[in-house]
Structure 1
Amino acid sequence: MENSLKGLMLAAGTIITCIIVTLGFYIAGEAKNTATGSANQINKLNVEFMENDKVIYDGATVSGTEVVNVIKKMQSEKIGVYVENGTTNTYYGYNFNLTTGELGSKTANVYTAAIDEGTGTYINPYGSFKGVVIRNSNNIITGIIFK
């Protein structure tokens, strides 16, 4: 009787140990999934925060002065600004494909050409321009169009 009781206690202990180990692995797996999901959300928020200074122009109507300010601001970034001023269409910063968003070569145009009234690239500070943000196949903003 005593041996059978010890055998039952050993079996019960083994089963309880297996259940606890299984629960531990299950909880660890759930924690990993939660951590991965949280990391993805943080990365997404980080990208949105970093793009905020460009996304604000998507669909917005801005003045010519603001367009010139955008050109100045984006000169140090790897992004293109395309402006249709009614006379000529000009890229500033980098050329980019207006449809696919693929980035091209760096242009020689600088914002000073946009404020020189004697050039065809002059941007009227009182003009009205509608912005469109262009993304490439990797969903990265490569250009802003003002027309």
Structure 2
Amino acid sequence: MENSLKGLMLAAGIIITCIIISLGFYIAREARDTASEGTGQINQLQAEFTDASKTMYDGTEVSGSEVLNVIRKFSDETMGILVQTNKNKTYYNYNFDVDKGELGKALDNSYKNAQDVASDKYINPTARFQGSIVKDVNGTIIGIVFAQV
């Protein structure tokens, strides 16, 4: 009788140990999946915050001085800025195709040309501009368009 009781206790201990180990593996797998999902969400939020500095100009009316600030602010990024004044239109940083959403070649147009009153590329700081963004087929912002209103 004593041997059978010891055998039953040993079997119960083995079963309980297997259940605990199985629960441990289940919890570890769930934690890994949750962490992976959280990482994906964090990456998505980071991409949205990165683009927020550009998307804020979409559909917004800004002054010419703000357009000059945008040209200077994004001068080191791989994107273009198109400024359409009543006189002409000028690309800064890169040219791009608004309709196709394709980024072109790098340009030499400098911020100083936009400030020179004698230049035909002059941007009047008090003028009003309507902003819009241009994206490529992947949804990446490749340009900002400012049209004088």
TM-score normalized by structure 1?
0.86
Q: What is residue 32 of structure 1 aligned with on the other side?
A: 32
Q: What is residue 67 of structure 1 aligned with on the other side?
A: 67
Structure 2 counterpart SS, 1:52: helix
Q: What is residue 123 of structure 2 aligned with on the other side?
A: 123
Question: Which blocks of at least 5 consecutive residues in structure 2 are unaligned?
Answer: none
Q: What is residue 142 of structure 1 aligned with on the other side?
A: 142
- Taking structure 1 as reference, are residues 99 and 13 closer, same or farther at Cα in structure 2, changes over 3 Å only? farther
- Taking structure 1 as reference, are residues 80 and 8 closer, same or farther at Cα in structure 2, changes over 3 Å only? same
CA shift digits 1:79-135 (9 cap, x unpaired): 210111123222100112313433221012112222233333222222211111222
Question: Which blocks of at least 5 consecutive residues in structure 1 are unaligned?
Answer: none
* Whole-angstrom CA distance in 1 between matches of 2:134 and 2:4: 76
- When structure 1 is superposed on structure 2, of 83-92 and 45-54 the one drifting more is 45-54
- When structure 1 is superposed on structure 2, of 69-78 and 34-43 the one drifting more is 34-43
- Percent identical pairs in the alignment equals 52
- Taking structure 1 as reference, are residues 90 and 20 closer, same or farther at Cα in structure 2, changes over 3 Å only? same
Q: What is residue 105 of structure 1 aligned with on the other side?
A: 105
Structure 1 counterpart SS, 2:15: helix
| Offset of residue 4 of structure 1 | 2.4
Q: What is residue 23 of structure 1 aligned with on the other side?
A: 23
* Whole-angstrom CA distance in 1 between matches of 2:137 and 2:26: 38
| Offset of residue 66 of structure 1 | 0.9
8 Å contact kept, 1:100–1:135: no
Structure 2 counterpart SS, 1:86: coil
8 Å contact kept, 1:129–1:146: yes
* Whole-angstrom CA distance in 2 between matches of 1:103 and 1:97: 7
- When structure 1 is superposed on structure 2, of 125-134 and 135-144 the one drifting more is 135-144
CA shift digits 1:10-69 (9 cap, x unpaired): 221222112111111111111112211222222223223333322221221101111111
Q: What is residue 44 of structure 1 aligned with on the other side?
A: 44
Q: What is residue 78 of structure 2 aligned with on the other side?
A: 78
Aligned pairs, number: 147
* Whole-angstrom CA distance in 1 between matches of 2:15 and 2:135: 57
Q: What is residue 88 of structure 2 aligned with on the other side?
A: 88
Residue correspondence of structure 1 range 9-20 to structure 2 within 5 A: 9-20=9-20
TM-score normalized by structure 2?
0.85
